[in-house]
Amino acid sequence: MIINLDPIFSAEGAFQEIDYSLDLSGETVNGLHPFSSPVNIKGEIRNHTGIVRLDAKADSVLDVECDRCAAKVKYPACADVEHIIVRSLNDDDNDSFILAEGSQLELDDIIREDFLLQLPVKFLCSEDCKGLCPNCGKNLNEGPCSCKKEIDPRLAALAQFSDFE
């Protein structure tokens, strides 16, 4: 979405509403394409006493995999997109400032970057996901695997017996 900044910069109190969807289906996160649903953006760009702020929320539902057990997970993700838009940068300006030298502001890249930066590094199907057995690879959320039987005392005794033979 392209915003025409001139009318916003030229009058205090001027604003433009933002309400649109962004397709990020081409984005890769952890080797997957999790954006099967569009990202919905709602907010505004407003001139508050001469300072132009972009203030929006972006949300979507991502198709990701659990970092421990690789189960498919629907992850509701939300990001704050908050920036001050300036037409020239001073030394004391910081990263949350966006420099817009022309009269148009391309929102898509700003939202894309903020949304990806605010995603968690890891996704879990649940806080207490037991993960996969490092030995046999079985999903331990579905029950214990046969590796545990190695410490069964009867089997241990049998193993000892066959050693003795």
- What residue ranges bind Zn ion (CB under 5 A)? 66, 68-69, 71, 125, 129, 133, 135-136, 145, 147
Q: Which is nearer to Zn ion, 13 or 134 (CB)?
A: 134
Q: What gap in Å lies between CA 152 and CA 72, rounded to an integer?
A: 33
CA 102 to chain centre: 30
- Cβ proximity to Zn ion: between 22 and 140 the closer is 140
What is the closest distance, in whole angstroms, from the C-beta atom of residue 75 to Zn ion in the complex? Answer: 12
Pick 39 or 69: Cβ nearer Zn ion: 69
Asked if 107 and 16 count as a contact pair (C-beta separation under 8 A), the reply is: no
State the nearest-atom distance from the C-beta of 55 to Zn ion, in Å: 35
CA distance 59 to 46: 21
Judged by beta carbon, residue 14 or residue 129, the one nearer Zn ion is: 129
Which contiguous run of DSSP H or E holds residue 46?
A: strand 39-48
Beta carbons within 10 angstroms of residue 83's beta carbon: 19
Q: How far is the CB of 96 from Zn ion (least distance, A)?
A: 35
